[in-house]
Amino acid sequence: MYVVRPVDRADIGALEAMAAISMPGVHTLPRTREGIVAAVERSLASFAAQIDIPSEESYLFVLEDLRSREVVGTAIIHASAGSNGTYFAFRNDVIQQVSRDLNISHSVHALTLCSELTAYSQLSGFFLRHRDSAGIEAALLSRARLLYAMLAPHRFGDRFFVPLAGRLDSDGQSPFWNALGRKFFKMDFLEAERLIEGARNRTLIVELMPHYPVYVPLLPGDAQAALGQIHPGGQMAFDLLAQEGFEADEYIDIFDGGPILQAHKNALRSFCASHKLRVGAGPAHAPAHAPDIGPVDYAVASVDNGFRAVTVRCAPIEHAHSIDLPREVQQALGVSAGDEVVCVRIQGEPACS
């Protein structure tokens, strides 16, 4: 069984070991001990803070294998992107060019540096140690942070976005970066990522990046082809986010050209398709269902006494008032009969209206 929970100081060693693993397609996790400790302390302070308006809070979750007590994954949600600066992205624009003398009018695809995503809540840092063999726990890890946001809406904004790492070549270089960012930063892609630790709110970005529209047709072919394309290592994250309700929109990452997915909270299944139920006292309280309806996988999270989330396979509970949880699940969540939990289908739930 796996549980998603807030990070603790005791996890720092496990996070250091995880940071030593190659993380293709993940540029939003700290890699040094200093960075990891800072992220953990920031998360602990964020969970403990009394919040009126979302600000600089950052919530770090870990996926723990309860059988081995091993931390095998991480995921982060930031209350407000760019809260200690401005979050920069490229906006896909279409510029109309008109020549009255030549009687010519046409559209040109251009990229414009913008800060419109500043103050949106941001998801980042999704990583699984055993990604290739991951099962339903991957969906649990991705969704749990949004369940927390649903349970504590005052801590987050109404809109969320997720930057996904862009396509790299066989040498780990970004064609998009080499065509654009490298000309201004005078360093290679990985060096630049290490310099800013995956952030997109540093002052040096606006100091170095072009403030004028960048005409896409003037970029090399490989850079144009990489525009809005995700790194193969990010395909799982993309699929999970798409199932949640995120969509690619008009923004791309300023470094590698990867897509930025976004959604209003009312379009996210963790908000609009979740159900609060009481923990039943036993089998007699399990929801009734027709014999021909098979069991369904749910993410189930505790509401009080600290956030925890696990997966449970049971009969459909969308019209039930309680859910019967095995003893080990109750222990993992820290709940007992009569306590409230929130449940949402891992896959296959109806779309939000």
Tens-place pLDDT, residues 63-92: 999 999 999 999 999 999 976 678 899 999
Mean pLDDT of the chain: 87
Q: Is residue 203 domain-shared with residue 305, that is, in the same domain?
A: no
Q: Is residue 194 domain-shared with residue 334, that is, in the same domain?
A: no
Beta strands in the chain (DSSP E): 2-6, 58-65, 70-78, 89-99, 104-114, 121-128, 159-163, 214-215, 247-252, 259-264, 275-279, 296-302, 309-314, 322-323, 340-345
353 domain-assigned: no
143 domain-assigned: yes
Q: What tens digit of pLDDT does each residue of 194-204 get?
A: 777 667 877 77
Assessment of whether the complete model's pTM goes beyond 0.85: yes
Residues 144-156 have a mean pLDDT of 96
11 domain-assigned: yes
Q: What tens digit of pLDDT does each residue of 165-186 get?
A: 888 887 778 899 999 988 888 8
Q: Is residue 291 domain-shared with residue 248, that is, in the same domain?
A: no
170 domain-assigned: yes
Cα dihedral sign, 274-275-281-285: negative
- Name, in order, each residue with C-beta under 8 angstroms of 308's C-beta and a sequence gap of 6 or more: 3, 4, 5, 301, 302, 332, 333, 334
Q: Is residue 281 domain-shared with residue 263, that is, in the same domain?
A: no
Which of 213, 236, 269 terminates a domain? The answer is: 269
- Beta carbons of 73 and 26 less than 8 angstroms apart: no
β-strand pairing of 322-323 with 275-279: parallel
Structure-token pair, residue 184: 């201004």
- Does residue 113 sit in helix, strand or coil? strand
pLDDT at 283 over 70: no
- What's the confidence (pLDDT) of residue 96? 78
Q: What is the largest CA-CA distance in the chain?
A: 82
187 domain-assigned: yes
pLDDT at 285 over 50: no
350 domain-assigned: no
Q: What is the CATH number of the domain that holds 321?
A: 2.40.40.20
Q: Is residue 222 domain-shared with residue 119, that is, in the same domain?
A: yes
Task: Break the chain down into helix, strand, coil percent, rounded to 5.
Answer: 30, 30, 40
Q: Is residue 228 domain-shared with residue 300, that is, in the same domain?
A: no
Q: Is residue 300 domain-shared with residue 233, that is, in the same domain?
A: no
Domain total for the chain? 2
Could you tell me the pLDDT band of residue 286, with boundaries at 50, 70 and 90?
very low
Q: Is residue 47 domain-shared with residue 182, that is, in the same domain?
A: yes
Q: Is residue 190 domain-shared with residue 231, that is, in the same domain?
A: yes
Which of 243, 269, 295 terminates a domain? The answer is: 269
Phi and psi torsions of 166, nearest 5°: -85, 180
Q: Is residue 237 domain-shared with residue 190, that is, in the same domain?
A: yes
Q: Is residue 318 domain-shared with residue 182, that is, in the same domain?
A: no
Which of 269, 288, 310 terminates a domain? The answer is: 269
Residues 138-163 have a mean pLDDT of 96
Cα→Cα distances 94→25, 49, 216, 260, Å: 29, 43, 10, 18
| Domain with 321 in it | 274-345
Which has more confidence, 95 or 202?
A: 95
pLDDT at 292 over 60: no
Q: Is residue 336 domain-shared with residue 296, that is, in the same domain?
A: yes
102 domain-assigned: no
Q: What is the CATH number of the domain that holds 194?
A: 3.40.630.30
99 domain-assigned: no
pLDDT at 298 over 80: yes
pLDDT at 275 over 70: yes
Structure-token pair, residue 218: 């003037």
